[in-house]
Structure 1
């Protein structure tokens, strides 16, 4: 019976979760929200995390009913992510581990998403579509690694959606991607956009530049509404993602797809993926915003799996790595 606490703060969310034998006991988080038209800068995001992290830690302990003495291992996000938010979260995790005299494990953020998705959905060996503000990858497990079969060659899909939301001045509360999804449901007229799939990889920057340049004039002329443009953007980028996911499934002979990451909450993406998987007589595994969006429990889950193999992170290696690729991790807990 292992109890793990996980600290996640790689982007604009700070979350702390406590897990006991695959059961989430608590998982509070806070989101740094900027005004419409603005993104979040690393320095300001880190200030937000520093301001609220001890409050979130107190909530996590109170909601779980767990005492520090009961915790077996402290887990934190080592990377990838934004440097300043990662750093301040890691400092608190290291401090807590020393005060409580507990072992510590640095977790790959992407692996945290995958292992939380596998836990919540029961997926055994899925092809994984990992889509968030900072990452876009198609992944499958093979020989003790999560192999990247395809990825974005420029910006992540979540970043693409967020940046367009800024152009049309959508609110960042609760997230720009969620507000694009709401607007897209009202869109009726489709604008053809550049569709860039290169083998197993995708590119979003050209598509984003195209729609950013034309948005103001299209809306002003009355040819397209903001809702139409959100609809067109969403349909195009999701079609690209489903194409490369299906190609990876065919290559791996997979019968399951698992969608993880913040963009994975999008119901239209889940609907489009469901159509593809049902045509292939495969199954779709997806979660809601409790676990798709960055959270502490996913870091605790990935950490506890590694801890179960007897591994811990030496103190001199409890640093952060902004560019920490999914396939760099040796997956010792899977056969």
Structure 2
């Protein structure tokens, strides 16, 4: 692009069009689109691998993995739709998608944020029950109950954010001063309510549950070490070894899962904190171009990071990826392969 000196409009054929705030060089625009396309493709691909892995292989149909599946679906939508839309907005410095998408895009983003928060809370509850009440875990946390919880989480998110953004959805151009601008304004009251409903409250629950999980894990480890020191006779040692093969092995796997999902939740909180910063400062939240560019990129990259964490800490995910990439998963009876 070359600057001719004349103001460049978002829509040259419309007199009330907004002016482009910044005219980017063609090379910079091309680079931005390439980076966005790469990030979007990577996010979609990684989360699609998670979805196929958990959906296809029967042994992975567990309550915990069902929660990861729900999280992967929301992350997939972020990579497929939210990333391209927000990046187009930032790169072109204009809103080019019209009033309908101006109403739909923020609503979709808000819903996915709420769904992600809800999934994180459910994951925290799942790990709390697995570590702190292992004897009753299988009876209290069933696959059916988790699926119902996930469905309720998605439904509540859709309804709740429809209420929060009702004014914007019905009149998306209310705060737009010209064509080529999409501004979402949430009042201080609504922003405060949303702050506690979708951030402060869930964060307190997640942190509280994981503090409890950490305390229990530490006490379990100390108990195991203490029991080993007390074991002196050969018979007692043999009995202890037999018991450790049956029960503690499962507990160790649960603790590893708690650690991995704790990392996922920590990264999630770090990524989403900037989004709620205006509510903490008591300002009305106005998602204009400059603000949304920063917080959106931070949040969107969280959708790409989650599958990378799974790949680092879950051997079953790495094995599933290998089977999917090599198309081995299409073979008969491959659904019944053992991962754990």
- Bigger proportion of residues as helix: 2
Fold shared per TM-score above 0.5: no
- Bigger proportion of residues as strand: 1
Larger radius of gyration: 2
TM-score by length of 1: 0.29
